[in-house]
Amino acid sequence: MLELPALGWQSIVIFVVFALSLLIATYCTYAERVIAAFLQDRVGPDRAGPYGLLQPLADAVKMFTKEEFFPQNANTALFIFGPCLAMITALMSSAVIPFGNVLSFGSNYFFLQGIEVNIGMLWVFGVVSLGVYGIMIGGWASNNKFSLLGAIRAASQNISYELAMGMSLIAVLMISGTLSLRDITLQQSVAGEWHFWNIVKQPLGFIIFLVCAFAETNRTPFDLPECETELVGGYHTEYSSMKLGLYLFSEYVNIFVASAVMSVLYFGGFNFPFQYELRDWLVSNQDWTLAGAQNLITILGTVLLFGKIFGFIFFFMWVRWTLPRFRYDQLMRLGWTILIPLSIFNILLTGGLITFGIIQ
Amino acid sequence: MSPLFLFLSFLALLSALGVVIAKNPVHSVLFLILTFFALSGHYLILNAQFLAAVNIIVYAGAIMVLFLFVIMFLNLNAETEPKKPMLAQIAAVIAGGSLLLVLVAALRNVEPVGYDAATFDSQIGMVDRLGLVLYDQYLLPFELASILFLAAMVGAVMLGKRETGERNF
């Protein structure tokens, strides 16, 4: 009998993460409007269901039932392929993110992570670097100059900010010495030691990474590819119905993944302060078994990791409704003349601090 | 030969053919990206995870984006394609054919070398092992290559530098 390893526990995790990414992305569209309304002192969506909670459902029905429009002389195959690719690449990167530590039942261990590979960080980085193809292909296939300009902007923006992002990651990797996201998470909290999250060791790197994450997910203030004051709708000018929906949706999935990566890399992932003290207290004072206490810590850690992720998602939206959009030359100047030199400086600084034993 | 290997080889060859045959340059680039993916799959089979990931990041993720970028800017299509002279076409066919001949002749009698499962190092090709080899055994070539990249970067910055008084927008 051929045993398929893909049909085990990992596939359940991947399926759950997949479903969760979609659910979170769906409710991000709602959260975006609620937060926008809150920041602009408006009411926001409140018609569909209690507090407007069914608004994403109503939007989905609208998206699916709208007319599917194909522009004349557009490359039909690539026109359809563009949004598909945007969605696929957005959903792929969450496979390696550790959403929790390990659950143990007897002698069975269940890791709350899709795939544990020792190139986890590179996987995320590679998939993120592919994300721009969906936008480029869609924008080009639309046969519209505004779409093309949006696509070209997206390409040059992603290339520029990927460099700074990669170099800010290198500083993290210098500290951790591993590319595995699970190992990076575990290193941020060690039992019995006073141990800091990476944000304490890498404040500058985190700021660079955060700015680059905004640029990579095409969020305001860097949403130049869909800048409606200059480019009508940017790369998705010609898109309608669910194909447009997929583009908008992939942006929210990207935000979710970027938030998860930032939480894992800089904010301790599924670790939370005093987790080992809580476990030891449960074992010694409350007569819990060690495995049971560990499972409780794992579940709490997962819940708190999602709390961190939601915090970052809120931050993304907060910034969107606070800052105006950059001009394109300002965007390029920020990327090439500020962020890249700054990230090189950060690498040198980290190297110096490691050499003198100040951080490790 | 595993079915996965056969599938990846099929994909690589088919998409590589697509690069050459496609009339539209954008389609060519997309086929080339697919080829890189198939090659990365081969690297994974060869237990070279790092190489696979870097291949995707550097070639599929960065260089091909720039390719696509330039091709979109130039708006190349079938009508603007210059007509190649017959002589060049014949010369290309002969050159390509002889390369194929040499490759087939060289690889015809190659036997796959099996590994002994007992002594095989499963960590070979992993990041840390590669790093140790690169910074230990091959430090000088590695540093020389990085100097080459530095020279290229300095050259690119020099070419792109704005002259005094010039304004581009």
Look up the CATH number of the domain holding residue B33. 1.20.120.1200
For A192-232, the pLDDT digits (tens) are 677 778 888 888 889 999 998 888 888 878 887 777 777 77
pLDDT(A73) > 80:
no
**Where a domain ends, among B45, B78, B111?**
B78
For residues B35 and B55, the answer to whether their CB atoms sit within 8 Å is no
User: Has residue B90 been placed in a domain?
Assistant: no
**B72 with B136, same domain?**
no
Q: Global pTM?
A: 0.85
Whether a cis peptide bond, with omega within 30° of 0, leads into A221 is yes
User: Has residue B88 been placed in a domain?
Assistant: no
User: Six-digit token pair at B139?
Assistant: 């430090």
Partner-chain contact B72 A148, CB within 8 Å? yes
**Nearest CB to B62 within list A117, A140, A159:** A159
ipTM score assigned to the predicted complex: 0.78
**Which residues in chain A are contacts of B59 at CB distance < 8 A?**
none
Number of structural domains found in chain B? 2
Dihedral sign for Cα atoms in the order A177, A182, A185, A186: negative
**Identity (one letter) of the amino acid at B34?**
L
Q: Which of residues 26-55 of B touch A (CB under 8 A)?
A: 26, 30, 33, 49-50, 52-54
User: Has residue B23 been placed in a domain?
Assistant: yes
**B127 with B73, same domain?**
no
User: Has residue B117 been placed in a domain?
Assistant: no
pLDDT score of B79:
63
**B11 with B69, same domain?**
yes
Q: How far is residue A233's CA from residue A150's CA, in Å, rounded to a whole number?
A: 8
For B71-114, the pLDDT digits (tens) are 877 766 656 666 778 888 899 999 999 999 999 998 888 877 77
Contacts of A218 (CB under 8 A, 6+ apart): A135, A154, A157, A224, A225, A226, A251, A254
Q: Which whole-number Å values give the CA distances from A124 to A52, A239, B79, in the listed order?
A: 34, 28, 40
pLDDT score of A1:
36
User: Has residue B107 been placed in a domain?
Assistant: no
User: Has residue B42 been placed in a domain?
Assistant: yes
**Nearest CB to A152 within list B33, B60, B73:** B73
**Nearest CB to B69 within list A117, A119, A156:** A156
User: Six-digit token pair at A219?
Assistant: 């969020």
User: Has residue B130 been placed in a domain?
Assistant: yes
Which range marks the domain in which residue B17 is found? 1-78
**B10 with B63, same domain?**
yes
* Tens digit of pLDDT at every position of chain B (169 positions): 688 888 999 999 999 999 888 878 888 888 998 999 999 988 888 888 888 888 888 888 888 888 888 887 776 665 666 677 888 889 999 999 999 999 999 888 887 777 777 777 777 777 888 888 888 889 999 999 999 999 998 998 888 777 776 665 5
Q: How far is residue A12's CA from residue A143's CA, in Å, rounded to a whole number?
A: 41
Q: Which of A124-133, A144-153, A269-278 has the lowest mean pLDDT?
A: A269-278
> Buried b vs exposed e over A254-282: b needs ≥16 C-beta within 10 Å?
bbbbbbbbbbbbbbbbbbbeebbeebeeb
Percent of chain A, pLDDT > 70?
Answer: 97
User: Has residue B128 been placed in a domain?
Assistant: yes
Residue B1's SS3 state is: coil
DSSP B117: T
